[in-house]
Amino acid sequence: MARIGIIGSAGRMGQAIATALADREHDLAGGVDAGGDAASLADRSDALVDFSSPQALEANLHAAIGAGIPLVIGTTGLDEPHHTAIDNAARDVAILQTGNTSLGVTLLAHLAREAASRLGPDWDIEIVEMHHRHKVDAPSGTALLLGEAAAEGRGIDLTANTESGRDGHTGERAAGAIGFAALRGGTVAGDHSVILAGEQERITLSHAAENRMIFARGAVRAAEWLMGKPPGRYTMPEVLNL
Ligand SMILES: NC(=O)C1=CN([C@@H]2O[C@H](COP(=O)(O)OP(=O)(O)OC[C@H]3O[C@@H](n4cnc5c(N)ncnc54)[C@H](OP(=O)(O)O)[C@@H]3O)[C@@H](O)[C@H]2O)C=CC1
Ligand SMILES: O=C(O)C1=N[C@H](C(=O)O)C[C@H](O)C1
């Protein structure tokens, strides 16, 4: 049993995480939302779980370092400077950052990497995601994570090979590109497909989140796993032993 603090506690994920903590008999150390004091929450917590906004990241990293406790970051929409800040903070505390804490997506990323490495570059890779109408970032963190996995499998750099937001006269698809398409609507918790399209055949690897509790349970499992670990940046495959 541990005391765990939630950043973004009043949000959709914050509420699901509070339920997952209770299911595992942890104490909710407290929660903060926009304008809240992450440092004082960290001082009374054994670990922090952050599902909030990229704007909160810097304060959350400082809070975790100040209290010397691990941090799970599920917030998406992070850019390169955010990742550099996480790398730096991981010299002082144990941190896990991921666009998706579910078991299913962690395995899907492995399958995407494997498929991309075994199929030649003439198999086009497209990643399609759908989320609820309230989601503010695109492509989703999960889509980017799946794109990274496919790019790794193929031995290419994702940033240099991304095609997203196609509209109008786009020209032909670039050879070797990894494409992204984002759909928004209704209450969809999170659907992701990695499509590998070859000559007259196509493979689709898909995951559907039926409920946010899959992410919440994964986040709590990650927090449990991080406690007692030395400083470093850890991953969901390590937590889940996949
Ligand atoms: N990694 C994963 O597995 C998953 C990641 N996510 C990601 O988690 C994040 C939250 O998603 P969701 O719960 O649906 O979003 P919500 O909008 O429902 O909740 C976000 C919460 O964060 C709070 N918040 C906003 N800014 C700050 C800040 N600067 N400091 C502290 N708290 C802040 C908001 O408070 P206020 O209302 O006061 O602004 C709100 O309570 C998103 O980035 C989403 O993509 C979601 C699901 C799974
Ligand atoms: O905002 C969400 O809801 C979700 N965000 C994450 C993402 O951006 O991939 C994970 C999940 O798909 C739900």
190 with 232, same domain: the answer is no
ipTM over 0.95: yes
pTM (global) more than 0.95: yes
202 with 217, same domain: the answer is no
- Domain housing 159: 103-208
Instruction: Choose the residue to mutate in 15, 52, 134 for probing ligand 1, maximizing ligand atoms within 8 Å of C-beta.
Output: 52
pLDDT band at 30 (very low <50, low <70, confident <90, very high): very high
140 with 67, same domain: the answer is no
3-state secondary structure of 17: helix
Q: CA 231, 233, 239, 240: dihedral to nearest 10 degrees?
A: -160
What's the confidence (pLDDT) of residue 182?
98
96 with 107, same domain: the answer is no
96 with 137, same domain: the answer is no
41 with 7, same domain: the answer is yes
For the chain, give the mean pLDDT. 98
pLDDT band at 116 (very low <50, low <70, confident <90, very high): very high
pLDDT band at 68 (very low <50, low <70, confident <90, very high): very high
199 with 120, same domain: the answer is yes
- Read off the pLDDT of residues 187-206 as tens digits, 9 standing for 90 and up: 999 999 999 999 999 999 99
134 with 152, same domain: the answer is yes
177 with 219, same domain: the answer is no
Give the count of domains, the chain: 2
Nearest CA to ligand 2 atom 13: 190
Catalytic residue among 82, 110, 135, 229: 135
